[in-house]
């Protein structure tokens, strides 16, 4: 499945098994508050041309935003935001690639939980459930983590592309 993008960000699924992502249902923690933790990349690390983003999400079932377009409590996905915009993702991992589109710079990478209709999920104080980590972005013609150049194809594995806001 080929997805169109209005953003120069290229997203490729990191397929760990087969052609489809494994189903992801968060563990029961006894709490009803959703949470998101970035497990990779590490804060202040250097990313050359791309980075794999992995997250741990609790109390939110990740759903395909293309087919689940109604707001359902307890369901949603997350947005990964770089200086080029955001990318919606519904798997616990994604390859975010900018190649040479982001200049050599220190900038934030933010992941934010959203509902099926892309609205931020808010805590009791009205703050979004999100994590921001600083990264050192380095432009490259290739994706250093994989030693190759990603294509502009987002595989049907839980990722779409959109320009950020």
pLDDT of residue 10: 39
Question: Does residue 107 lie in a domain region?
Answer: yes
In angstroms, rounded to a whole number, what is the distance separating the alpha carbons of residues 99 and 144?
Answer: 9
Q: Look at strands 93-97 and 105-114 and give their pairing.
A: unpaired
Identify the pLDDT of residue 99. Answer: 82
Does residue 4 belong to any structural domain of this protein? no
Q: Which residue has the higher pLDDT, 40 or 142?
A: 40
Residue 154 resides in a domain:
no
The answer to the question of residue 158 being in a domain is no
Q: What's the total number of domains in the chain?
A: 1
Cα angle for residues 78, 81, 82 (degrees, 5° grid): 155
Q: Please give the pLDDT value at position 80.
A: 96
CA-closest candidate to residue 16, choices 72, 58, 54, 59: 54
pLDDT by residue (tens digit) across 72-130? Answer: 999 999 999 999 999 999 999 999 888 888 888 999 999 999 999 999 999 999 999 99
Q: Are 75 and 121 in contact (CB under 8 A)?
A: no
* Range list of β-strands (E), the chain: 10-12, 35-40, 46-48, 50-58, 61-62, 75-82, 85-89, 93-97, 105-114, 130-138
- Domain with residue 14: its CATH number is 2.60.40.10
Domain that holds residue 121: 10-138
Torsion from C-alpha of 128, 129, 133, 137, nearest 10 degrees: -70
Q: Is 151 contained in some domain?
A: no
- Please indicate, yes or no, if residue 86 is contained in any of the structural domains: yes
Query: Do the domain assignments include residue 52?
Result: yes
23-75 pLDDT, tens digit per residue, is 555 555 567 899 999 999 999 999 998 899 999 999 999 999 899 899 999 99
| 165 in a structural domain | no
CA atoms within 13 A on the CB side of 126: 0
Q: Are 83 and 137 in contact (CB under 8 A)?
A: yes
Return the ∠ at Cα 67 (arms to 63 and 73), rounded to 5°: 45
- Whether the bond between 41 and the residue before it is cis, its omega within 30 degrees of 0, is yes
């Amino acid at each position: 499945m080929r997805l169109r993008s209005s953003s120069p960000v290229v997203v490729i699924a990191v397929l760990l098994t087969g052609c489809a992502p494994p189903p992801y249902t968060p563990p029961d923690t006894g709490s009803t508050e959703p949470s998101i933790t970035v497990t990779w990349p590490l804060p202040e690390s250097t990313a050359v041309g791309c980075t794999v983003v992995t997250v741990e999400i609790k109390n939110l079932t990740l759903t395909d935003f293309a087919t689940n377009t109604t707001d359902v409590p307890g369901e949603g996905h997350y947005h990964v935001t770089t200086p080029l915009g955001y990318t919606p993702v519904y798997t616990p991992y994604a390859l975010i690639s900018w190649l040479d589109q982001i200049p050599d710079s220190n900038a934030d990478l933010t992941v934010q939980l959203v509902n099926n209709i892309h609205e931020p999920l808010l805590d009791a104080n009205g703050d979004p459930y999100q994590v921001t980590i600083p990264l050192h972005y380095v432009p490259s013609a290739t994706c250093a983590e994989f030693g190759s150049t990603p294509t502009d194809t987002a595989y049907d594995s839980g990722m779409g592309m959109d320009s950020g806001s």
